[in-house]
Every structure is written in structure tokens, then in C-alpha cells.
Amino acid sequence: MQRSALFALVSLTGSVLPASSQSSLDYPKTTDEALARISDEERERVAVLRERILETTAKLDETAMEDYLSKIPKTGVPYDMVAIRGGEFLMGSPPDEAKRDRNEGPQVRVRVSPFWMGRYETTWDQYEPFMYSGVPRYRDGTLRYPEHLKNPSPATSFLHRPLPTPR
């Protein structure tokens, strides 16, 4: 299993060590240190979990992708998504294009997988429940490592406990 995939799965499970031993040890200072502390038993559990996820995750069928309207859990705030087809395109402008800037090239063929995109700009009602998740972050949104491990709530807890929208 790739190191980044293993670290991501460990992050999702919420622990690097059993809870009983975790409180008595210092938090790891680096990713390598955190990975070195993972027991063989935990690595096996992560590998099994990864395989279960891969087995139960359906391949994205682009023809089955449709636009949809849904609501954010616990808030009822609606959002509208548009299915964007995958494909290839030429990114960048040709060298002989009028008023072309130097940062617009060189041209590169790019392949994009299908995805969904919001039909409209994100509103504050949609954004705020995710903004206050209780997980310490830097200004750019990345987790404050290792402080986020001290807060046992997973990063996805915002889906279960969003704050009410201020009025």
C-alpha cells in the first residue's frame, strides 16, 4: 500500500495507536514518525478496510451521472449540482495568439475525469456549517498537525454537527 494512502486511511480511522497507549506518548512530529508508530496489526486492519472500500465503491459511470438537487444534512440548506463530462482538451493558448501572455503556454493536452460542480456560487448558508468544524486549521484550511489529533472528532464531524446558520 502506498505511504500516502496508508496515512490517509489512518487519518480517517482517527487513531495511529490504541487509545490506551496514545495518551501516554508524545504526539508524532512528522508523518514518517506517525507511520513508524503504526503496529503491524493496525496496518493489516487498514489494508482490510481499504480493500472493503475498493470492493464496495462503484466505478463512476459517466453516462449515469445526472444533475441533481440535494440538501446539506442537519441544515436543510439546498444545493444544486451539475454533472460535467470528462474528456480531453488543449490547455493554454497557441504561441501566435494575439495579446498572448508568457504564462499562457505552452499548450498541453489534459484529460479530465467526470465530476460534479455546483450550479451556482456557494452561499454563506452552504459554507458556514463546514467552516466551523472544531478541528484546528491554518488559514489555508490545512490541519494543524499534530493538534488535530488531540481533538478526537474526525474531520467529517461537521456533517453530523453543523452550527445553526446565524440570522
pLDDT digit string (tens) for 11-49?
544 444 454 444 456 888 888 888 888 889 999 999 999
**pTM above threshold 0.85:** no
Which residues partner with 117 through β-bridges? Answer: 82
Q: Write the pLDDT tens digit of every residue in 136-151.
A: 767 666 667 665 566 5
Q: Write the pLDDT tens digit of every residue in 85-137.
A: 889 999 999 999 999 998 998 999 999 988 899 999 999 888 877 777 777 76
Helices (H), the chain: 3-13, 19-22, 31-36, 40-56, 124-131, 147-150
How many CB atoms lie under 10 A from the CB of residue 16?
Answer: 23
Report the pLDDT value the prediction gives residue 152, as an integer from 0 to 100.
53
Report the pLDDT value the prediction gives residue 81, as an integer from 0 to 100.
95
Contact status, residue 79 vs residue 71, Cβ threshold 8 Å: yes
Report the pLDDT value the prediction gives residue 162, as an integer from 0 to 100.
46
For residue 59, give the amino acid letter. K
Contact status, residue 122 vs residue 88, Cβ threshold 8 Å: no
Is the preceding omega at residue 136 within 30 degrees of 0, hence cis?
Answer: no
Higher pLDDT, 11 or 50: 50
Is residue 70 classed as helix, strand or coil in its secondary structure?
strand
The string over 104-140, giving b where at least 16 C-beta atoms fall within 10 Å of a residue's C-beta and e elsewhere, is: eeeeeeeeeeeeeeeeeeeeebbebbeeebebeeeee
pLDDT higher than 60, residue 61: yes
Average pLDDT value for residue range 45-73: 84
Rounded Cα gap, residues 15 and 153, in angstroms: 11
Report the pLDDT value the prediction gives residue 26, as an integer from 0 to 100.
80
